[in-house]
A = this chain, B = another copy of it.
Amino acid sequence: MSERRGDGEGPGVKAIVTVMLKDGVLDPQGRAIAHALHALEFAQVGDVRVGKVIEIELAEADADRAHAAAEEMARKLLANTVIEGFRVRIEA
């Protein structure tokens, strides 16, 4: 998992950014999965939504600064904030 590192070495955290389409935005991939699950006789399946998860190793010991950096990455690159929302979790 750590074949590449940023410029800083030493203690770090993992930022986990989850990007989902906003409520109300049609999710055709989720709908296709719901149909396929029904075809597999998972009758208990209701709505399905599909998103991305991006796990980022950060050479940053401070969790608050790691969280702020990951939010900036999500806004600038990882999420299309017109149609997508995101949440950030930091793991030690």
Check if A55 sits within 8 Å of B49, measured CB to CB: yes
Check if B53 sits within 8 Å of A4, measured CB to CB: no
Check if B2 sits within 8 Å of A47, measured CB to CB: yes
Some 28 contacts from A to B, beta carbons below 8 A apart, are A1-B47, A1-B49, A2-B46, A3-B47, A4-B46, A4-B47, A5-B46, A6-B38, A6-B43, A8-B43, A33-B54, A33-B77, A37-B56, A42-B69, A44-B59, A45-B58, A46-B56, A46-B57, A46-B58, A48-B54, A49-B54, A50-B52, A50-B53, A50-B54, A50-B55, A51-B52, A51-B55, A52-B53
Q: How many residues of A contact B (CB 8 A)?
A: 45
